[in-house]
Structure 1
Amino acid sequence: MNVETITKTLNSLDQLQRNTAIQSDLFSIEQTSDLTVAAALVKTLENLGVRYAFGLFGGGITPFIASLEQSSIEVLQFRHEAGAAFAAIESYFASGHPVVVFSTTGPGITNALTGLFAARWEGAKVIFVSPCTSATQRGRWAFQETSQYTMSNTGIFTSGTLFHYATTVECNSELSEIARRLALGVGKLGGFVAHISIPRTIQTSLLTTPLPHVNFSPTLVTAGEDTISKCLQLLCEAPFAIWVGFGAKDAALEIRQLAERTGAAVMSSARGKGIFPEDHPQFVGVTGFGGQNSVLKYMQEQRPLRVLVLGTKLGEFTSFWNPVMVPSRGFVHVDIDPEVPGAAYPYAETFSVQSDIGAFVRAILKYFPEISRSSSVLPLPRPEREVIKSHLEGLVRPEFLMDAIQRVIVENSDAIIMTEAGNSFAWGTNILRFAAPGRYRVSTGFGSMGHAGTGILGAALARNRKAVAILGDGAMLMNNEITTAVKHKIPAVWIVLNDARYNMCDQGMNMEGFHNVDAEIPSPDFVMIARGMGADGIRVSRECDLEAALEKALALTIPFVVDVIIDPTRPAPIGSRINSLIFHGK
């Protein structure tokens, strides 16, 4: 099918739906003469589909919490507000429902900020509700005063780089507009992080206006026929490759059809693992941090004319901005955010398409004919899969641990698996293989320690199934929420790479030539810690005992820790990151 035929076919179609705003209608659903503002806000959150609220109680937020406890929303109190926010992120991605995070004044808010920044970077839908000091008490040094006198107003209480929407409620009549803004944010494509700051005096006051219910009809952002025609023209000129990211997670079936119909090689970001099956013959590997050399081999030896980028920002941990990853004629980059295409590689030729990934692929798929595969087509490089045999002596090798996780957990369960920032991220991304989307989660943007260790609670709760965190001993000591899992009977599993050090820092600094830096930490017994908190665990120091330990962790329904004493001398696959630091730091 040539370009002229494609264009004529497209011109005979109706205009594809272009970007439209979400339509909202407000109407009163009940008389609210005896409803407090806190109760009305909770009803608004219920109407938006919120199922869970994660946080830490305190005096300033008490009226709102009391209303939450009387609602259909399940309330979970955490040990730390950052952990609550991480759990909220993963609950959203596991369920698709917006999630509430709550805190009290002062340090409750600042403790939550790390998790809320991660929510913004990850693209989650999280509504943060916190109290602030009442107007009559501001400037008088109230306990944990939260106001413009004691805390910067920039970024915490206003819309901007952290919150898509933020407001301080000063009057109960403002709730109608707040409900409308929240509905618009929740209904739009992409992430939405909001902050509703509400003084206790306003929480307890009676609502004086009708409680609104907001109906929204989200509309897909789609490309027009001219754009589709141009994309077809560019992609039909020569063989192309597909680079898949997390933003394409809901279009896995369509992407596979496109790849198989066109014969395109496919690579993915770490967050995109499993969207295209990693055991598929057209999959050439994962890019960036912890990625496989097969990708670079493909780009160097069979360099495509163009790369179709679907749902990835091509940020540092996905691409390292490596010029080898730029095809000879550049990118066709599809994303719902118009600011994404061209940002990572500003010097590369880029045809930008603003569209929902699924809608785009469905539109373009109609006009690609089936290809006839020729024996002359070069075989694609594939990620190497080393057979790792058990050692009878010595500590557990991290690569052997990952191979065991692959066999026992990935291939024989439906558990969600998350890897933590650090060497755990590198080992898991490099060795684990997924054939379906939604099983693997990692934070490649904000990359906070503690994200996986607490995020698995939200994922396990939302999916009602096992969730497994693979993390280092440093991250496990920082933030884990074992007691929260025990209290709420959440079947979380922590697999700890216990090497008595911050090993990514240790190995990375040695790779850069900085030696004799103290990165060691005392090696705790995480099994004793788990049991002291009401959970259980097992310590593994020999490779021959590992498989049985993992099987036990899967079989039990209680929170469980697998404390693995690993060999700290095994070099993690982090060389690309170190090389990038050196190259871009010059």
Structure 2
Amino acid sequence: MKLTGAQMLLKCLEEEGVDVMFGFPGGAVIDIYDEIPNSSVEHILVRHEQGAIHAADGYARATGQVGVCLVTSGPGATNTVTGIATAYADSIPVVIFTGQVPRPLIGNDAFQEVDIVGITRPCTKHNYLVQDIEELAATVKQAFYLARSGRPGPVLVDVPKDVQSQIAEFHYPEKVEMRSYNPTSKPHVGQVRKVVKLLKNAKRPLIYSGGGVVTSGSHEELTWLAKELHIPVTSTLMGLGAFPGNDDMFLGMLGMHGTYAANMAVNNCDLLLAVGARFDDRVTGKVDTFAPKATIVHIDIDPTSIQKNVSVHVPLVADCKSALSALKKETRATQDEFDWAADHKEWVDQVLAWSAQHPLTYADDAESIKPQYVVEKIYEITQGDAIIATEVGQNQMWAAQFFKYTKPNTLLTSGGLGTMGYGFPAAMGAQRAFPDKLVIDIAGDGSIQMCIQEMMTVVCNKLPVKIVILNNGYLGMVRQWQELFYDKNYCETCMDAQPDFVKLAEAYGAAGYRVTEKNAVESTLREAFAIDKPVIVDIRVAREENVYPMVPAGASLTEMLLV
């Protein structure tokens, strides 16, 4: 079967089982767009290329599958770089197809030419410039394999315009063999036994769960281990949902805006079992004082993540699901010999006491709408049965603290890069994946304006995403730092000049609500969530409310500001 490069690319996507891609056309991909009507792959036209990559990312996080986007060369390609870096920081499997000028023009400063392979090399797992149509199918096969295997990540494929019009026989490889790439997925038996021995000897064990647990689909194995061995669990922002957030043994998030109980548990545990986490600076605080009494076990599929930030006593290089399954099997073999509940009772009682003494709380009042109250109401109304996307900043932290995530793949947030504008297009991608689910973007009035043009995309495609804006008239997290550490010098963080978000929603053909009274919060949210169309709910919250607890930069986890 002879196909053009454009036809071949779309056929490759069909072979990979891709049902949708997000994109924006241009001259360097016009041949591909000419063939899209003949393909079974749905194309969703975004209004900005950054929206395309974030939507593909959100689709990937919500489904666990590879997200796909397609953009043109030059500015089209560079507009995806922030989203590519976002996916790279959080290990999200995305394949980005970019158009490129014809091969004879590469290097000649042609119209809309840019070296996107060079630009994205530091923020992709791998990238390709397709030099010949004979390489195209094998390159696409490798791209999807690399994106989803090992530690997942974004892979970019740059396809010159003349390659798209070349003709060749089409053959899609059945498998991929790469001599230089062989990620270790199975754990070493000896290391597994070492970990089990440490678990048996530990009196104050703690599980520290990261995004790798969600990515690997190992939440059931993690939950079994915690429940059977009576070990408390804390989580990174990216790991929320891997262990039920409404379980008594869940301490909440740790780190800079983590709970008192989680941070105290890290400081006092004698064994820290880190699973699929990378010891980010927002988690560790001052590295020298992180988990000072603990033997640290680190399970991760990426060997370069181990010993990178924190010294580890027992490394276990493996896929999280395989490693936790092996630990489950090994502990089950000796379960009758050991009373985990009795041995850990004193420790669990202490951890639960910390949770009771210093729960997540805020000073509620009748005069203003507290943002934490809004998030609590969203949880109460949905009973946790929703996909939550967030922007970045205070809204993100309140969504992490006051919504209880009981299932994986239900929190979509930019953890590693902290990308403002991420949440709305990510919610759009998740809504396309799950058209019957309630998808909510918890946003700030600053972040939401960065990709607001995607309102047209959700309206045109009948994607009923709900945007709840915690509108405090500030770039809230930066303002909080200015208040606490810069003598309240609120330089360029005041956002008083805002659009009318209700009229903006209506201008796009969506529904809009404004809430200024506390007693209207619940009824408005219920009405907004019931409407089968995109909605913006602009809630005017207390302007100078801060996120607590907070560990100042460079401080240890025990040096929390609680009020």
- Under a length normalisation based on structure 2, what TM-score does the superposition of the two structures give? 0.89
Q: 1:574 to 1:106 in 2, by over 3 A?
A: farther
Aligned pairs for 1:373-522 within 5 A: 373-374=341-342, 377-378=346-347, 379=349, 380-381=351-352, 382=355, 384-385=358-359, 391-393=365-367, 395-409=368-382, 411=383, 414-464=385-435, 465-480=437-452, 481-518=454-491, 519-521=493-495, 522=497
- SS of the aligned residue for 1:173 comes to helix
Q: Is the 8 A contact 1:244 1:312 kept in 2?
A: yes
Asked whether the equivalents of residues 420 and 469 of structure 1 are also in contact (C-alpha less than 8 Å), the reply is: yes
What letter corresponds to residue 524 of structure 2 in structure 1? A
1:243 maps to a residue whose letter is Y
SS of 1:449's partner is coil
Alignment partner of 1:285 out of 252, 261, 276: 252
Provide the rounded CA distance (Å) in 1 between the counterparts of 2:183 and 2:39. Answer: 30
For residues 340 and 220 of structure 1, do their structure 2 counterparts lie closer, same or farther at Cα, with a shift above 3 Å needed? closer
Q: Is the 8 A contact 1:418 1:469 kept in 2?
A: yes
Give the distance between the partners of 1:574 and 1:388, measured in 2 at CA: 10
Across the aligned residues of Structure 1 and Structure 2, the Cα RMSD in angstroms comes to 2.6
Compare the two structures and name the one with the higher helix fraction.
2
Q: Secondary structure at the residue paired with 1:57?
A: coil
Q: Percent identity?
A: 24
Does the 8 Å CA contact 1:49/1:98 hold for their aligned counterparts? no
Deviation string 1:172-220 (CA, Å, 9 cap, x unpaired) is: 222243144225314523313222212222212212x442233469997
8 Å contact kept, 2:514–2:538:
yes
| Distance in structure 2 (CA, Å) of the matches to 1:551 and 1:456 | 19
User: Which residue of structure 2 aligns with residue 337 of structure 1?
Assistant: 302
1:253 maps onto 2:227 in alignment: no
8 Å CA contact 1:321, 1:344 repeated in 2: no
Partner of 1:194: 155
Q: For residues 118 and 474 of structure 1, what CA distance do their matches in structure 2 show?
A: 18
2:272 alignment partner in structure 1 = 307
Cα distance per residue 1:360-415 (max 9 Å; x no partner)? 1111112321626349625123275568797443x311121122122113x1x622
Contact 2:303 2:317 in 1 (8 A): yes
Offset, 1:493: 0.7
Question: Mean alpha-carbon deviation: is it higher for 98-107 or for 485-494?
Answer: 98-107
The answer (yes or no) to whether the contact 1:456–1:469 under 8 Å persists in 2 is: yes
Instruction: Decide whether aligned partners of structure 1 residues 44 and 372 sit closer, same or farther in structure 2, where only a CA change above 3 A counts.
Output: closer
Q: Distance in 2 between matches of 1:267 and 1:582?
A: 14
Name the amino acid aligned to 2:282: F
> 1:278-332 deviations in whole A, cap 9, x for unaligned?
22222222112431111123344xx222111111112122333455541524311
- Aligned-pair CA distance for 1:463: 2.0
Residue 547 of structure 2, aligned match among 572, 575, 583: 572
SS, match of residue 484 in structure 1: helix
Q: Secondary structure at the match of 1:128?
A: strand
How much does 1:452 deviate?
Answer: 0.6
- The answer for the alignment partner of 1:543 in structure 2 is 518
Task: Flag the 1:529–1:580 CA change in 2: closer, same or farther, 3 A.
Answer: farther
Decide whether the 8 Å contact of 2:94 with 2:154 is kept in 1.
yes
1:272 to 227, 239, 243: 239
- Contact 1:268/1:285 (<8 A) preserved: yes
**Are the aligned partners of 2:431 and 2:464 in contact in 1 as well (CA < 8 Å)?**
yes
Matched, 1:530 2:500: no
Whole-angstrom distance in 2 between the partners of 1:548 and 1:389: 22
Contact 1:299–1:324, Cα closer than 8 Å, also in 2: no
- In the alignment, residue 539 of structure 1 is paired with which amino acid? R
Decide whether aligned partners of structure 1 residues 133 and 388 sit closer, same or farther in structure 2, where only a CA change above 3 A counts.
closer
**Unaligned stretches of 5+ in structure 2?**
559-563
Residues 419, 442 of structure 1: 8 Å contact kept: yes
Alignment: residue pair count: 537
Please give the per-residue CA displacement for 1:77-120, whole angstroms capped at 9, x wherever unaligned. 11111111111011012122222211112111111110011111
Distance 1:119 1:71 in 2: 27
| C-alpha distance 190-65 of structure 1, shift in aligned 2 (>3 A) | farther
Greater mean alpha carbon deviation, residues 558-567 or residues 309-318? 309-318
Native 8 Å contact 1:457 1:490 kept in 2: yes
Q: Which residue of structure 1 aligns with residue 65 of structure 2?
A: 97
1:563 positional shift? 0.3
Written as runs of structure 1 = structure 2, the 5 A alignment for 1:209-224 is 209-215=169-175, 221-224=185-188
Q: Are the aligned partners of 2:210 and 2:236 in contact in 1 as well (CA < 8 Å)? A: yes
- State the alpha-carbon separation in 1 of the partners of residues 38 and 263 from structure 2: 56
- Where structure 1 has 5 or more consecutive residues not aligned to the other structure, the ranges are 1-30
Instruction: Verify the 8 A CA contact 1:492 1:559 in the aligned structure 2.
Output: yes
Change (3 A) 1:180 1:55: closer
1:298 matched residue in structure 2: 265
2:530 — aligned with what?
555
**Alignment-derived partner of residue 25 in structure 1:** none
Query: Following the alignment from structure 1 to structure 2, what is the Cα–Cα distance between the partners of residues 235 and 102?
Result: 48
Aligned to 1:351, which of 314, 321, 331?
314
SS class of match (1:308): strand
Deviation at 1:354, TM superposition (A): 0.7
> Aligned pair 1:361/2:324, yes or no?
yes
CA contact (8 A) 1:276 1:436 kept: yes
**Paired position in structure 2 for 1:120:** 88
1:45 aligns with 2:13: yes
Letter in 2 for 1:132: Q
Distance 1:165 1:256 in 2: 33
Deviates more, 1:362-371 or 1:332-341: 362-371
Go from structure 1 to structure 2 and tell me whether the alpha carbon gap of 1:97 and 1:40 turns closer, same or farther (over 3 Å shift).
same
Contact 2:188 2:316 in 1 (8 A): no
Between the aligned partners of 2:287 and 2:542, the Cα distance in structure 1 is 31
Q: Is the 8 A contact 2:96 2:155 kept in 1?
A: yes
Matched residue of 1:214: which SS?
Answer: coil
Q: Is the CA contact 1:296–1:324 (under 8 Å) kept in the aligned structure 2?
A: no
Distance across 1 between alignment mates of 2:117 and 2:14: 29
Residues 1:230 and 1:390: Cα distance change in structure 2 (over 3 Å): closer
Corresponding residue for 1:23?
none
Measure the CA separation in 1 of the matches of 2:388 and 2:137. Answer: 40
**C-alpha distance in 2 between matches for 1:387 and 1:141:** 57
Please give the alpha-carbon distance, in whole angstroms, between the structure 1 residues aligned to 2:170 and 2:484: 63
Going from structure 1 to structure 2, the CA distance change for 1:506 and 1:194 (only over 3 Å counts) comes to same
Residue 536 of structure 1 deviates from its aligned partner by 0.6
Q: Which amino acid letter does the alignment assign opposite residue 318 of structure 1?
A: V
User: Helix, strand or coil for the counterpart of 2:539?
Assistant: strand
User: Which residue of 2 is the match for residue 129 of structure 1?
Assistant: 97
Q: Matched residues in 1 for 2:224 and 2:106: separation?
A: 60
Are residue 317 (structure 1) and residue 292 (structure 2) matched? no
After superposition, the Cα gap between the structure-2 partners of 1:327 and 1:241, relative to the gap in structure 1 and judged at 3 Å, is: farther
- How far does residue 421 in structure 1 lie from its aligned partner after superposition? 0.9
Q: What is the SS of the residue equivalent to 2:551?
A: helix
Partner secondary structure for residue 303 of structure 2? coil
